[in-house]
Amino acid sequence: MTPPYLCEARRGPDGRIIEKTETVRGRKSTWSYEYDEAGRLTKAQLDGRLICQCWYDREGRRVRDYLPATAGANYREYQYTQDNRLMRAGSGQYSHDERGFRSIWSARGVYTLYEYAPDYRLLKAEEEDRDKAFTFRHDEDGQRTAKYLNGELVEAYQWLDFVRLAGFHDGQHGHEFAYRDGERTPFAMRRDDGTVAGLFYDQVGSLRLVVDMHDNVIKEIVYDPFGGIIEDTNPAQRIPLGFAGGLHDRDLGFVRFGWRDYDVKTGRWTAPDPIGEKGGDPDWYGYCLDDPVNAVDPAGLWTNEHGEEISKGRPITEYFPGIGTPFSAMGTKRNVQKGLRDKKADYSDENDWEMRKNLETEAEGFGFWDAVLGTYRFKTDDGAVEHYVGKAKSTIGKN
């Protein structure tokens, strides 16, 4: 059976994607991409319609752009300080604190104030003129666990490791995610009422499609290359997996990747790279050397090479030596690879979709919870092959 979503890419001589064809339920759409000599994205079109055009200065910073589908019909000019802090993007004005973290964004008389901890945690975002204050709580590892609006809990999160969500609560329902061994994004989601959905992604891990077990598309998201949302067919269904697989905050327009918040409106981080020049970009606020089509940065620390390696499921310990077992980061003791058996299936696109459709939901979580192995078990439709997927039990939404 053909999966509901397929993504096929054609690459140029340097390996970068120059054309991408996405097929959703038999409906094809084609992206085309252009780059400058340094590999920065300069132009993107969807079925011949201009979606994104960017210009850069000698330092590699974006100085002008045109994103008619997500940022309005006007060209935007950018200005920076000598140390690469963003001062202006179109009508938006930006300020930073003494550590270089974004502290103020203003546009047309509306101000949003941000408060960051020294360890890069976002503590508060307050929209002064709209009387909205978002506050955030974190666990002992510094990962976000709760979001509040004017003191009221609106979302909660639980993590498998430094970059992967185990589950979330949207204020009405708890949700759990299921992962294949070592993969960065979940392939399925189960709500606490037993509803199961399959999740599909593009080449950088952006959530593109949510499909129920009856093959119905219940949500489709289309992004511009830097993560701005062009279309969301079901915004009422809240799933915090966003651009490039990060934690999407729809209120702030940020996507959280490990250490840092990424602003999709400007294609820049809100804080400087914690590892400085080791990140590979002299602009410590730049995202993936301005090549969001071919690169990812799940932990907010690396650009092209490291991002691509992590997306293929390499243990985080390879980037944080000496911090514990595989997929354990910042002192986290959860080890989602524990006890995986040698018997694994070949996950082609077709096999993958068939497995999603045959998830056994009558037991706890996805399939059967194996307390000894610390995994959930799956079976194919003929019952012959068992699939073992690392998964932590979620307590989200419970007291």
CA distance 18 to 341: 40
DSSP conformational letter for 253? T
DSSP conformational letter for 392? P
Kindly list the averaged pLDDT for each block of 10 residues, start to end, along the chain of length 399.
89 95 95 97 98 96 96 93 96 96 94 96 91 94 94 95 94 93 91 94 96 93 98 95 96 96 97 82 91 93 44 28 25 25 31 42 32 34 34 30
Query: In this structure, are residues 134 and 114 in contact, taking their beta carbons and an 8 Å threshold?
Result: no
Q: How many CA atoms lie within 13 A of 187 on its CB side?
A: 24
144 closest CA partner among 246, 42, 291, 36: 246
Q: How many domains does the chain have?
A: 1
- Taking the alpha carbons at both ends of the chain, their separation in whole angstroms is 42
- Is 326 within the bounds of a domain? yes
- Is 185 within the bounds of a domain? yes
CA distance 12 to 35: 10
Q: How far is CA 105 from CA 128, 211, 256, 310, 340, in A?
A: 11, 37, 18, 32, 47
| pLDDT score at 79 | 98
Domain that holds residue 62: 5-390
| pLDDT score at 367 | 35
| pLDDT score at 72 | 84
- Is 396 within the bounds of a domain? no
| pLDDT score at 305 | 39
Query: In this structure, are residues 7 and 17 in contact, taking their beta carbons and an 8 Å threshold?
Result: no
Q: Which amino acid is at 393?
A: K
Phi, psi angle pair for 244, to nearest 5°: 55, 25
The whole-model pTM stands at: 0.78
- Is 399 within the bounds of a domain? no
| pLDDT score at 302 | 64
- Is 398 within the bounds of a domain? no
Q: Within 10 Å of residue 160's Cβ, how many Cβ atoms?
A: 22
- Is 145 within the bounds of a domain? yes
- Is 395 within the bounds of a domain? no
Q: Is the four-CA dihedral 323, 324, 327, 329 of positive or negative sign?
A: negative
DSSP conformational letter for 172? S
48: left (phi over 0), alpha (psi -120 to 50) or beta: left
- Is 306 within the bounds of a domain? yes
